[in-house]
C-alpha cells in the first residue's frame, strides 16, 4: 500500500473538502459511501471513483500495512459504521476522526487490539478548510486543528495534516475529551446555543416594537458582523471599550438582570452536563429534534419579516 493512501468514509462538508485537498496534494483517496446517491454522483464527477461501504472490508483485509480510515460522517453514524464494516476485520487499522464526540459519548468502542483511533479536528467547516487550502497551496494556511495521534501512526498523520494544508505548529494537541468538551461548550454557550436563541428573542422584540425591517437587518445582522470583526482585530476588552457608553450601560443592565434571574446558574448547570457526559444521553434520545424544528420555523418567520430589505437579500 502506498504511503499516501487513505480510505475516506463520507462525502459531506468535511469529507468533500478532505478529498479535494488530499487529491490536490497527490494522495490516493478512496471514497466510500453507504449508497449510490447525490454524494456518490458528485464524487464520481470529480473522478474520485467512489465505492460502496460494503466494499470496505475487502479493501482493508488485503495487505499487511496499517490501513488508515478517516470517518467523516455525522457523529451519530460513526459507531454503527465501525461495528458493521471495520470491527470484524482484524487487520491493523487507524481510525481518523474529525471530531471526538463518538469517543466522548462512549458509543465508539474499539473491538480489536490492532485498531487505534486518532483525532484530526479542523477548527473550520469543510468549505472554509478547502478555501484556505486553495488560497495558500502549496504553502500552509493559517487554520488550526485539534490533534491526538497514536505514536506508531504519528509520521503518517503529520503527513496527512500537511496534505490538508496544516503547518505542524497549527496542530494543537488535545485529548478526545478536551476537543469535544471545548467544542460543545463553545457551541452551547455562545456560537449556537447563545446566538440562535438570543437572535430569536431579539428579532421578536424588535418586530413587536415596530422597528422598520431594514433597520432590523442593520441593527442585528450587520452590527453582529461588525462586533465579531472588531473582537478579532482588537480583542474583547478593547472592543467593549470602543462601543458607545450607551451600549456599555446596556451590557451591564442586561448582565444584572441575568444575574438576578439565575441565568448564570442555569448556564453553568448546562455546561456541567457537557463535562459529565449527560449531554450525550440527551443527544442520543433525540427529544431535541422537535424543538429544533420549531426553532427553525420561528427563525424562518423572522427572516421572512425582514426579507424586503435589499441588504439582507444580498447578504444571504
pLDDT confidence of 2, banded at 50, 70, 90?
very low
CA angle 47, 49, 50 (to 5 degrees): 130
- Domain end (from 174, 201, 220): 174
Domain that holds residue 169: 5-174
Q: What pLDDT score does 62 carry?
A: 74
Residue 218 to residue 309: CA distance in whole angstroms: 9
Q: What pLDDT score does 312 carry?
A: 43
> Under DSSP, is residue 114 helix (H, G, I), strand (E, B) or coil?
coil
pLDDT digits (tens, 9 = 90+) for 109-165: 999 999 999 999 999 999 999 999 999 999 999 999 999 999 999 999 999 999 999
- Give the torsion through C-alpha atoms of 249, 252, 254, 257, to 10 deg: -130
Instruction: Report the number of distinct structural domains present in the chain.
Output: 2
pLDDT digits (tens, 9 = 90+) for 201-214: 998 898 889 888 88
Q: What pLDDT score does 313 carry?
A: 47
> Under DSSP, is residue 38 helix (H, G, I), strand (E, B) or coil?
helix
With contact defined as beta carbons under 8 Å apart, do 6 and 22 qualify?
yes
Q: Please give the distance of CA 114 from its chain centroid, rounded to a whole number.
A: 28
Indicate if 74 and 116 belong to the same structural domain.
yes
- Domain end (from 174, 205, 231): 174
- Domain end (from 145, 174, 203): 174
Which residues, listed in sequence order, are joined to residue 147 by a DSSP beta bridge? 120, 173
Q: Please give the distance of CA 159 from its chain centroid, rounded to a whole number.
A: 22
- HSE-CB at 20 with a 13 A cutoff on CA atoms is 21
pLDDT confidence of 64, banded at 50, 70, 90?
low
Global confidence as pTM = 0.87
Please say if the pLDDT value at position 249 is more than 70.
Answer: yes
% of the chain residues with pLDDT over 70: 96
| 186 falls within a domain | no
Residue 235 to residue 193: CA distance in whole angstroms: 22
Please say if the pLDDT value at position 166 is more than 50.
Answer: yes
Indicate if 294 and 199 belong to the same structural domain.
yes
Please say if the pLDDT value at position 89 is more than 60.
Answer: yes
Q: What pLDDT score does 311 carry?
A: 43
> Under DSSP, is residue 95 helix (H, G, I), strand (E, B) or coil?
strand
pLDDT digits (tens, 9 = 90+) for 167-201: 999 999 999 999 999 999 999 999 999 999 999 99
Closest by CA to 202, choosing from 296, 305, 312, 302, is: 302
With contact defined as beta carbons under 8 Å apart, do 267 and 189 qualify?
yes
Q: What pLDDT score does 155 carry?
A: 95
Indicate if 241 and 277 belong to the same structural domain.
yes
Amino acid at each position: 500500500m502506498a504511503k499516501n493512501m487513505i480510505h475516506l468514509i463520507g462525502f459531506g462538508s468535511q469529507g468533500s473538502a478532505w478529498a479535494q485537498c488530499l487529491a490536490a496534494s497527490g494522495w490516493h483517496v478512496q471514497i466510500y459511501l453507504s449508497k449510490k446517491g447525490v454524494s456518490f454522483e458528485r464524487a464520481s464527477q470529480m473522478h474520485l471513483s467512489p465505492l460502496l461501504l460494503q466494499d470496505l472490508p475487502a479493501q482493508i483485509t488485503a495487505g499487511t500495512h496499517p490501513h488508515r480510515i478517516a470517518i467523516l460522517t455525522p457523529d451519530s453514524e460513526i459507531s454503527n459504521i465501525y461495528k458493521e464494516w471495520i470491527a470484524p476485520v482484524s487487520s491493523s487499522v487507524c481510525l481518523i476522526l474529525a471530531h471526538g464526540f463518538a469517543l466522548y459519548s462512549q458509543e465508539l468502542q474499539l473491538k480489536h487490539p490492532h485498531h487505534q483511533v486518532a483525532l484530526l479536528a479542523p477548527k473550520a467547516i469543510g468549505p472554509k478548510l478547502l478555501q484556505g487550502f486553495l488560497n495558500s497551496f502549496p504553502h500552509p494556511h493559517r487554520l488550526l486543528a485539534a490533534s491526538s495521534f497514536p505514536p506508531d501512526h504519528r509520521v503518517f498523520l503529520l503527513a496527512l495534516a500537511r496534505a490538508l494544508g496544516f503547518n505542524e505548529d497549527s496542530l494543537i494537541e488535545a485529548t478526545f475529551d478536551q476537543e469535544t468538551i471545548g467544542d460543545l461548550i463553545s457551541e452551547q454557550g455562545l456560537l449556537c446555543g447563545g446566538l440562535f436563541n438570543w437572535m430569536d428573542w431579539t428579532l421578536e422584540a424588535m418586530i413587536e416594537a415596530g422597528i422598520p425591517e431594514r433597520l432590523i437587518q442593520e441593527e442585528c445582522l450587520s452590527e453582529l458582523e461588525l462586533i465579531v470583526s472588531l473582537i478579532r482585530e482588537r480583542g474583547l476588552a478593547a472592543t467593549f471599550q470602543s462601543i458607545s457608553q450607551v451600549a456599555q450601560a446596556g451590557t451591564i443592565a442586561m448582565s444584572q438582570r441575568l444575574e438576578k434571574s439565575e441565568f448564570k446558574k442555569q448556564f453553568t448547570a448546562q455546561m456541567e452536563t457537557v463535562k459529565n457526559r449527560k449531554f450525550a444521553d440527551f443527544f442520543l434520545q433525540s427529544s431535541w429534534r422537535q424543538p429544533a424544528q420549531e426553532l427553525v420555523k420561528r427563525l424562518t418567520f423572522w427572516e421572512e419579516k425582514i426579507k424586503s430589505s435589499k441588504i439582507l437579500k444580498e447578504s444571504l
